[in-house]
Structures are given as C-alpha cells and as structure tokens.
Amino acid sequence: MRTLFIILLALFALPAHAALNVFACEPEWAALAGELGGDKVSVFSATGALQDPHRIEARPSLIARARNADLVVCTGAELESGWLPLLLSQSANARIQAGKTGYFIATDYVTLRDIPAKLDRADGDIHAQGNPHIQTDPRNLLAVAAALSSRLKQLDAANATFYEARHASFNSRWREAIARWEKLAAPLKGMAVVVQHQSWVYMTNWLDLRVVATLEPKPGIEPSAAYLQEVLGKIRHQPAKLVIRAAYNNPSASVWLAERAQIPAVVLPFTVGGSPEAKDLFALFADTLQRLLAHAK
C-alpha cells in the first residue's frame, strides 16, 4: 500500500499537459478557437465587441499576452496593421511571427470582396487586399475553421484526434445552422438598407440585402452634416427599410438619419459579445437575424 501511495503522489506531482495559449485579435476568432480547441486551449481576445479593431494600441498588457502565446489568430487584410506588427515585434516571441506555425491569418482562407482597383489615401481607410470583415458571412467560417483546426493539430500533435473530433462536430452543427438561418432569412431578400460603415459587405451578399447608401463618405471618415443631408435626399428617392450600424460604431449619424427618414436604426452585434444575446458564434448569427427580421415586414 505504501508503494502504491508513493506512486500516486508522484503521478499527481507530474505537471498537467499545458493548454495551447491562443492570442486572438478579435472576439470571433477567440470564439472559434474555443469551439475547435475546447479544454486543450487557453484563449485570450485582444479586443472586445465594443472596440473598433482598426484602432487598437499595442499596450504593454497585450504585448505580455503575446509574449506567452503559442498561436496568434487574427483577421488580416490590414485590419490590424496599425497595431499587430508592433505587438509581434515587441513580444520577442519567435513562435508567433509572420510565416511561423504560430501565426494564423483568417483572411488567407477566404475570397475577399471589395478589392480596390487603385490605392489612394484620399479614398479613406481602404484595405489593399480587400474588405476584412469576413466574419459577417457564416459560410466564411467553414473554411477558416478547417484551416485553424489543422493548425491546432500541427502545434499540438498529441491531441490531433481531439481537434479532429471537435472540428467535425463544429462543421456539422455549423452547416445545419447555416441552412436554418438561410431559410429563416428568406423575408430579408432584396431588402434595401443603409449601412454606417462598409463592414457588412459579406453579410449583405449572403442575405441578398440591397445597400442603397453608406453613411461614411469614405471608409473610416465621419460624415459631415452636408453629406448626411445628401444621403437623406438619396433615400427619399430610393427608400430604405432601415439603417444598420455595428455595436461599436458611434450612433449619432445613424440616429440622425433614422429620425429624419423615419426608419429604424438597427444595432447589430457584429461579433461575439456585441449584444447581450450574442454569447457565442451560433448566438451571434441568431441574434443578428432576429434583429433584422424584426423590421422585415
């Protein structure tokens, strides 16, 4: 008995298999990593749903998190260009530098929309590689999930079977959810909308919404009173059903237009945590559709 007791003590003293430390740039990728990695990953999101991911600072606390990361999962397509390169450099973490196995860019695995024909700073906050907001179309997450699952297996081969099973489960449930959402969203087809920022191009394509105006005269540029008057005049000739903004957007422009055009101003979560209901990826899209369908009639 004494020998058995000593063996058991020794086993308990052994360090547990450490979880992979995943540093996600945005909440949607943190949520996806959690879906695929389960208890084999420890996930941190650098940004919250009420923050503009374009405008984040490489704070010391974020650098410290990156320093201990095994995997960085970011959107790419220049969404994080103002802060991620500095963060990676200051972290001095060789595992997560560009080109390494610990560096994962979601937009590498989907076809980007709105690739500019020319690059000119006068055109506002444009992205040379295309629109980065791929998470607003759930179909894009199928390809990203497959690639991210493969990356987790590369980094943690001992748990490859676990990651395969998690991905298979997510893939099946996600495809079923997409079919359900698309059936539910049928009344939205062709609905005319105004968007505050060009962050909804993937969602509007998926749902076949018709964007008649954008509240920003150029991407990332706040509208002037004169420009808002132009938009108001435009939608009086091309009526819109509602005006859409993300939870992190300044509400003033959409509220101004909604009041004068007498249409609803609808706040969509945009990412996980963007509304009290959007607690995970599945709830994100369920809540987004519910908020749109409330104004479909």
Local confidence band at 125 (pLDDT 50, 70, 90 cut-offs): low
Local confidence band at 109 (pLDDT 50, 70, 90 cut-offs): very high
Query: Residue 195: which of 184, 207, 185, 186 has the closest Cα?
Result: 207
Local confidence band at 24 (pLDDT 50, 70, 90 cut-offs): very high
Local confidence band at 130 (pLDDT 50, 70, 90 cut-offs): confident
| % of the chain at pLDDT higher than 70 | 90
Tell me what the pLDDT averaged over the chain comes to: 90
Across 272-277, average pLDDT? 97
C-alpha distances (whole Å) from 165 to each of 38, 121, 188, 198, 230 are: 11, 46, 35, 36, 53
